[in-house]
């Protein structure tokens, strides 16, 4: 069977699956897919704001970042010494209002922000270790 024949078989099989499971897939998407997509988008925006804040803090003298949650959303305030200088994403409220009830001792120095987030370590069987084999790179 040539490439065209294999492609036709795949197309026919896909069409059969779409007809058979399409309605259930649409119902599942309507129930939870849109919320999951919105949550993933919000998480991506938060991580982008975090990266921008730590990059900015690394360029100022005695830079640090404080994570806050105004109005239920995550924002990061960049400090130079004891002075707040920026917020990511930009906030409509002023710094005195944003920082009214937060613990300023929870600020993270800029050099600590570049470390990898939890759970982003090496993946795969070598990272987990196999039975009878040590975890990590092979020994020569």
Structure tokens given for 27: 């119902």
**pLDDT at 115 (0 to 100):** 61
Q: Are 55 and 110 in contact (CB under 8 A)?
A: no
From the first residue on, what is the mean pLDDT of each consecutive set of 10 residues in the chain (140 residues)? 71 79 77 83 92 93 92 90 92 89 90 64 56 57
Report the distance separating Cα 92 and Cα 116, nearest Å. 30
So what's the pLDDT on residue 11?
78
Residue 128 dihedral angles phi and psi, to the nearest 5°: -85, -25
Report the pLDDT value the prediction gives residue 83, as an integer from 0 to 100.
Answer: 93
pLDDT attached to residue 138: 59
The sign of the CA dihedral 59, 61, 62, 65 is negative
Contact 30, 18 (CB under 8 A): no
CA distance 15 to 20: 9
Could you tell me whether strands 108-109 and 83-88 are parallel, antiparallel, or unpaired per DSSP bridges?
Answer: unpaired
pTM strictly above 0.75: no
The pLDDT of residue 18 is 77
Query: What does the pLDDT read at residue 119?
Result: 56
SS3 of residue 93 by DSSP: coil
**Cα–Cα distance between 56 and 51 in angstroms, integer?**
9
- Whether the link from the prior residue into 61 is cis, omega within 30° of 0, is no
């Amino acid at each position: 069977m040539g490439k065209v024949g294999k492609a036709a078989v795949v197309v026919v099989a896909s069409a059969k699956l779409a007809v058979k499971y399409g309605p259930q897939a649409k119902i599942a998407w309507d129930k939870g897919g849109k919320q999951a997509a919105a949550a993933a988008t919000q998480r991506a925006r938060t991580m982008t704001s975090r990266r921008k804040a730590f990059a900015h803090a690394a360029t100022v003298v005695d830079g640090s970042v404080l994570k806050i949650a105004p109005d239920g959303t995550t924002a990061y305030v960049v400090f130079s010494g004891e002075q707040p200088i920026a917020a990511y994403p930009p906030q409509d409220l002023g710094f005195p209002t944003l920082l009214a009830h937060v613990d300023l001792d929870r600020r993270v120095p800029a050099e600590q922000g570049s470390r990898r987030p939890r759970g982003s370590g090496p993946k795969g069987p070598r990272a987990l270790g196999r039975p009878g084999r040590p975890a990590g790179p092979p020994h020569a």
